[in-house]
Structure 1
Amino acid sequence: MDPVLFDISIIIIIAATIGIIAKFLRQPAILAYIIGGIIIGPFGLKLIHDIDFVKNIGELGIALLLFVVGLELSVERLKKVGGSASLIGLGEVGLVTGIGFLVSRFFGFSTIESLYLGLILAFSSTLVVIKMLSDSRELDTLHGRIMLGILLVQDVIVIIALTLLLNTDVSAMSFAKLGLMGISLVLTALLSAKYILPLFFKKVAESQELLFMFALAWCFVFSGAAAYLGFSIAIGAFIAGVALANFPYNIEIIGRVKPIRDFFVTIFFVAIGIQIVPTLDRSLVIPIIVFLLIVLLGKPLIIGALASLKQYARRTSFLSGFGLAQVSEFSIILAMQGVLIGQISDNILSIAIILTAITMLLTTYLIKYDDIIYHKIGHILFFFNQKSAHDLSHIPGKLEDHIVVFGADHTGRKIVEAVHELGKRIVVVDYNPDIIQGLIARDINCICGDAEDPEILERLDLGQAYAIISTIPSHITNRAIIRNLKQHSQNALFFSVAASTDEALKLYEDGADYVILPAMLAGEKLSDVLRNFHNKNIIDVLRLRQIVELEKIRSHELIERHAPSLFRHGNDSGQKDLLKFWDR
């Protein structure tokens, strides 16, 4: 067999085999691929003939990875990040990079190596975090959205870092020239995408295969242009992706490119394993331990503290930082590029891989059991959200025969609307300050904070409440609310949501009066719609009714995003306009 075909075949076989084992053990696939590379590499079974060829193929994987990142970086997605997540992300990268740099210098690393190490520690894994949040159904929670926003900011920063660090000429003139060439490349891509590509896409989009090939050609045109101008091919691919991000066909392109991206990215991580020297300088052991402490303890504390400064509740701040306590696959890519151009030694790459392996391994368990860990240690995080509940609340002095609603996002919003329209006295508890600002604007009793915060619970007068409704997805939190309620009142009704049948039954055992399973309700609702499928008029009415409801929800979300700024600046006229718009 041809040596090249043999090498690729061996890589695919080992990646699939080790990947399946990792899947059964619930470990990140990236680690499996790196281990596979070590097994077949020069320090293992010595099965690879042309290591340079494998490295070059892996480079294509990074280009395609960044092409897809660019495709997903639409203007709408950037808007959704919000100012809070952006500031937290920028602050985290700046502080962790600075700490990592100083610690590295203390251990005797060179200035450029220390800068690389600081950045390596700062970035968290988009692949691992999204996978774990998706598995635990936390992608759409407040802390999930904050984490995704921070990761998006990190992705943008790592692209900038790759661009600047990989420029070997550090003179001011060189950076100015680099900046001009970079701006020219970006403008060329954006202007072409706006004025030229639409003419081609009308025809190209008629064929899925042609659309796929055209998108790849576009990617490689800018990868080649970037390489010609002295940038990495990955930077050119990213710019090409950003240019296509707002096209109506970007979803189809992403769907087509992802499988081939995954193939080449797999080869890239196997190639990293092939190049690893299994022996490690003993002098690096202590620095690695300190770097691990920075990632596992320092990074979560920094993110949590920054989130607290933005008035997020203790639980939200803790979970946002805790879930990002790992090193990113982009950190390995950054280190790999630094080694290739001779800026850093192989030791830095080895450190990056070891940190990534250990922290990714731990993250799978940290995110899985984050709620349990929070309930064990949350009370000692006194420096998270030191603001009193009085700082962001709207509650009368005395409450009686009232309804308490925990969580006012999505399901909770509908409940708040229904109870408010009935004229019942209501108190809303939510840990999202933007939602609370919006409720204050409508003169609805509310308080910002954690459902398990003793100070919050004390102000709710649970002993005098008529009913408590929890839309919080956390099973542990809902059980804690029931226990607290039973200590204050045996008469108040308790309604809750649950993610599974087992959780619902446990809540009933604890004394819940009624538990709702959203998945079951969705099935019942769809069944009701299907019973009328023969009557197009009824379907049209239901469709229009839902569109109106969705538009209303979107308006509420928009108001909640902008309400804080209206209140911060004491904008009375703005607040009046806000109330008129909301009532509409």
Structure 2
Amino acid sequence: MSETVFQSFFLIFTGSAIIASMAIFGRQPLLVAYITLGALIGPYGLGWVQDVHLLSEISEIGIIFLLFLLGLDLQPKSLLRAFRKVTVVTLISSLIFASAGYLIARLFDFTTTESLIIGAAMMFSSTIIGIKLLPTTILHHRHIGEMMIGLLLMQDFLAIFVLLVLLSGDGGQINITQIGITLLALPLLILFAWGFVRWVLLKLIAKFDQMGEYIFLLAIGWCMGLSELAEVLGLSREIGAFLAGITIASSPISQHIALTLKPLRDFFLIMFFFSLGAGFNLGLLPEIALAAATLGVAMLILKPVIFRVLLERQSERKVLAWDLGFRLGQISEFSLLIAYVAFNASLIGVMASHLIQAAAILTFLVSSYIVTFNFPNPIAVSEKLRRN
């Protein structure tokens, strides 16, 4: 390992340990501490950590593990039941959020194409924050957990479609043929994953389930392998990881695998939030501050209200509808990926890209505070609200 990489890891994790301790004593959410540390010592702050691009790529593994673990905890029948309940809510809410984002972007004189992409980035809520701040007992054993996972996964599928459109762009042009080819690959990937698990993976697990090290390696290999295959087919590693998890969810050993991988997931998620803060160019903030604040605040207000109204119309209890609404009241990490992909495809400019990033970070921070101080969660500063 090079000296630079080791020093970066030292600064990230030793710094995170210190600032997390300060955050706990100061009754602040840990996610805020990680993002703040990134902004403080990243290339646009003190400059102690320079190669944020490499660290960001490494940290994306945390998202892959997160979706793999989500899949492990979901039975296909439960997932289909949740999809039936949340499809209408997801589609209507996404249309409302996209329209609001588009109108706000046009208000600040962004082009039509930029405004459409900014609006699309507003449709989604953060899987990382939504799941990380939901207690495990509620996530796996309560109706609210099933509803949240259903909503987030429906949003993820929409996000992947948006990314497919953007990834087909070449110099600002959209390739419809490439989009169609990629969409055809999804059912083929599902069929392959189901068959491989049934005739190969589950047999290996049953034969060697007493060898913990081998099962650990097999689980990581399956997760990474299907993720990479999904990427090759033009989908996304995230979708591959989720399919890898859900296809072995029926195995009795799935919960053991989930518990084993959680520390590894948390390791990479710390890096994700650090790279999120470190990758933002603070020098552009004055130029987009008003637009970002308007967009972020609009989403923070609009999302809880819209989710509450739509879920209550689906016969959900008002308390649950408000709870879910506030937990999903931020912009998504997929929005950051949309900004990155659209900028690289020359579909948006640097200001539009940073507008999406700034609004996302703002909603990450404020939403984390709202949930941490008002709803049961694993990192609550109040013992009354702390639930593991």
Report the TM range for the smaller structure's normalisation.
0.7 to 0.9
- The TM-score with structure 2 as length reference comes to 0.80
Aligned to 2:201: 197
Superposed displacement of residue 194, structure 1: 2.2
Aligned to 1:575: none
Rounded to whole Å, the distance in 1 between the matches of 2:233 and 2:209 is 31
Structure 1 stretch displaced more, 343-352 or 83-92: 343-352
Aligned to 1:92: 93
- State the AA in 2 paired with 1:355: A
| 5+ long unaligned stretches in structure 1 | 372-501, 503-584
Superposed displacement of residue 89, structure 1: 2.7
Rounded to whole Å, the distance in 2 between the matches of 1:46 and 1:270 is 13
Rounded to whole Å, the distance in 2 between the matches of 1:24 and 1:124 is 29
Q: Is the 8 A contact 2:140 2:146 kept in 1?
A: yes
- State the AA in 1 paired with 2:291: P
Rounded to whole Å, the distance in 2 between the matches of 1:117 and 1:358 is 15
Label 1:275 to 1:283 Cα distance change in 2 as closer, same or farther (>3 A).
closer
Q: 1:302-341 CA distances to partner (integer Å, 9 max, x unpaired)?
A: 2233234334565554454344322234433443454566
- Secondary structure of 1:279 counterpart: helix
Label 1:254 to 1:350 Cα distance change in 2 as closer, same or farther (>3 A).
farther
Label 1:358 to 1:201 Cα distance change in 2 as closer, same or farther (>3 A).
same
Aligned to 2:62: 61
Residue correspondence of structure 1 range 212-231 to structure 2 within 5 A: 212-231=216-235
Superposed displacement of residue 164, structure 1: 4.4
Rounded to whole Å, the distance in 2 between the matches of 1:135 and 1:179 is 33
Q: Is the 8 A contact 2:230 2:236 kept in 1?
A: yes
Rounded to whole Å, the distance in 2 between the matches of 1:235 and 1:137 is 24
Label 1:255 to 1:349 Cα distance change in 2 as closer, same or farther (>3 A).
farther
Q: 1:190-240 CA distances to partner (integer Å, 9 max, x unpaired)?
A: 221222222222223221111111111112222332333344433433332
Rounded to whole Å, the distance in 2 between the matches of 1:183 and 1:131 is 29
Q: 1:345-365 CA distances to partner (integer Å, 9 max, x unpaired)?
A: 444453344334433443355
Rounded to whole Å, the distance in 1 between the matches of 2:6 and 2:39 is 19
Is 1:241 the counterpart of 2:245 in the alignment?
Answer: yes
Residue correspondence of structure 1 range 138-177 to structure 2 within 5 A: 146-147=147-148, 149-168=150-169, 170-177=174-181
Q: Is the 8 A contact 1:304 1:317 kept in 2?
A: yes
Residue correspondence of structure 1 range 461-480 to structure 2 within 5 A: none
- State the AA in 1 paired with 2:21: I
Aligned to 2:381: none
Rounded to whole Å, the distance in 1 between the matches of 2:243 and 2:143 is 30
Superposed displacement of residue 106, structure 1: 4.1
Superposed displacement of residue 370, structure 1: 6.3
Aligned to 1:407: none
Aligned to 2:379: none
Rounded to whole Å, the distance in 2 between the matches of 1:209 and 1:317 is 42
Aligned to 1:6: 7
Residue correspondence of structure 1 range 199-348 to structure 2 within 5 A: 199-280=203-284, 282-312=286-316, 317-339=321-343, 343-348=347-352
- State the AA in 2 paired with 1:172: I
Rounded to whole Å, the distance in 1 between the matches of 2:261 and 2:38 is 24
- State the AA in 2 paired with 1:295: M
Superposed displacement of residue 160, structure 1: 4.2
Label 1:336 to 1:264 Cα distance change in 2 as closer, same or farther (>3 A).
farther
- State the AA in 2 paired with 1:93: S
Aligned to 2:44: 43
Superposed displacement of residue 98, structure 1: 2.8
Rounded to whole Å, the distance in 1 between the matches of 2:326 and 2:52 is 38
Query: Using CA pairs below 8 Å that are at least 6 residues apart, which structure has the higher relative contact order?
Result: 2
Aligned to 1:351: 355
Aligned to 1:107: 108
- State the AA in 1 paired with 2:67: L
Larger Rg: 1
Rounded to whole Å, the distance in 2 between the matches of 1:53 and 1:172 is 32
Superposed displacement of residue 278, structure 1: 0.7
Rounded to whole Å, the distance in 1 between the matches of 2:74 and 2:252 is 14
- Secondary structure of 1:122 counterpart: coil
- Secondary structure of 2:43 counterpart: coil
Superposed displacement of residue 135, structure 1: 10
* Aligned-residue RMSD, C-alpha: 3.5
Superposed displacement of residue 296, structure 1: 2.4
Rounded to whole Å, the distance in 1 between the matches of 2:277 and 2:248 is 33
- Secondary structure of 1:206 counterpart: coil
Aligned to 1:23: 24
- State the AA in 1 paired with 2:325: G
% identity of equivalent residues? 30
Label 1:245 to 1:142 Cα distance change in 2 as closer, same or farther (>3 A).
closer
- State the AA in 1 paired with 2:126: S
- The TM-score with structure 1 as length reference comes to 0.56
Aligned to 1:540: none
Q: 1:365-416 CA distances to partner (integer Å, 9 max, x unpaired)?
A: 5447769xxxxxxxxxxxxxxxxxxxxxxxxxxxxxxxxxxxxxxxxxxxxx
Rounded to whole Å, the distance in 2 between the matches of 1:286 and 1:354 is 10
- Secondary structure of 2:92 counterpart: helix
Q: Is the 8 A contact 1:28 1:360 kept in 2?
A: no
Rounded to whole Å, the distance in 2 between the matches of 1:361 and 1:79 is 32
Residue correspondence of structure 1 range 320-469 to structure 2 within 5 A: 320-339=324-343, 343-364=347-368, 366-367=370-371
**Count of aligned positions:** 372
Aligned to 2:378: none
Q: Is the 8 A contact 2:219 2:257 kept in 1?
A: yes
Q: 1:241-282 CA distances to partner (integer Å, 9 max, x unpaired)?
A: 333333332212222222112212222222232222112354
Rounded to whole Å, the distance in 1 between the matches of 2:137 and 2:210 is 39
Q: 1:89-133 CA distances to partner (integer Å, 9 max, x unpaired)?
A: 332122212332343244333455334422432323344445655
Rounded to whole Å, the distance in 2 between the matches of 1:56 and 1:296 is 28
Structure 1 stretch displaced more, 218-227 or 345-354: 345-354
Q: Is the 8 A contact 1:163 1:235 kept in 2?
A: no
Q: Is the 8 A contact 1:204 1:211 kept in 2?
A: yes
Superposed displacement of residue 148, structure 1: 5.3
Structure number with higher helix proportion = 2
| 5+ long unaligned stretches in structure 2 | 376-383
- State the AA in 2 paired with 1:118: G
Label 1:63 to 1:148 Cα distance change in 2 as closer, same or farther (>3 A).
closer
- State the AA in 2 paired with 1:247: S
Aligned to 1:451: none
Q: Is the 8 A contact 1:166 1:232 kept in 2?
A: no
- Secondary structure of 1:280 counterpart: helix
Rounded to whole Å, the distance in 1 between the matches of 2:287 and 2:273 is 26
Q: 1:431-479 CA distances to partner (integer Å, 9 max, x unpaired)?
A: xxxxxxxxxxxxxxxxxxxxxxxxxxxxxxxxxxxxxxxxxxxxxxxxx
- State the AA in 2 paired with 1:273: G
Rounded to whole Å, the distance in 2 between the matches of 1:236 and 1:84 is 24
Rounded to whole Å, the distance in 1 between the matches of 2:212 and 2:256 is 8
